[in-house]
Amino acid sequence: MNSPAYQIRLMESGEEAQVCKLVERLFIKNEANEISQQSISLFLSYANPVRMAERVAQDFCFVLVAVQDDQLIGMIEVRNYNHIALLFVDDGHQRQGIASSLLEVAIEKCREKNAALRRITVNASPYGLPVYAHWGFHPIGEEVEMDGMLFTQMALDFPEDAD
């Protein structure tokens, strides 16, 4: 039996705490075992409901959510309409195309804002690196450490003749 369909939509005002709780839970489970407590705190200060609401309110950032049966199952935050800041899908819903759908809708939204968009970037953690590579992102720099966290800058390029 197929699982019920999910919906992707813009995060609504007031959902920031729920979105950040999902991010925090998945970050702690999948990423935090290799980094310092200070680095975890820095990440969680970014993935904070008040700061997320401030970023979205300034119109240089948007958050899309994936919802199934009124349950939040995934999210993506994009800054400056060209950089993925956060992308998380609940463990029980991974490998079902939800992250791919979130990315696809986010790219559409970025291209609506900037039709000349030729590249979207992400600072991929070691955990996320193979996922982004699977989607066609390629490294545009060496792995670096910033604030105790490892990441590789990656980009997805769009051909000029793409619609």
19 falls within a domain = yes
96 falls within a domain = yes
Q: What is the pLDDT of residue 122?
A: 95
Task: Report whether 10 contacts 64 (CB < 8 A).
Answer: yes
What is the DSSP secondary structure assignment for residue 12, as one 8-state letter? P
pTM for this predicted structure: 0.89
Q: What is the pLDDT of residue 115?
A: 87
126 falls within a domain = no
62 falls within a domain = yes
Count of domains observed in the chain: 1
162 falls within a domain = no
40 lies in which domain range? 7-117
31 falls within a domain = yes
Task: Report whether 150 contacts 159 (CB < 8 A).
Answer: no
Task: Report whether 31 contacts 125 (CB < 8 A).
Answer: yes
39-65 tens-digit pLDDT: 888 888 888 999 999 999 987 899 999
In CATH, what number is assigned to the domain containing residue 26? Answer: 3.40.630.30
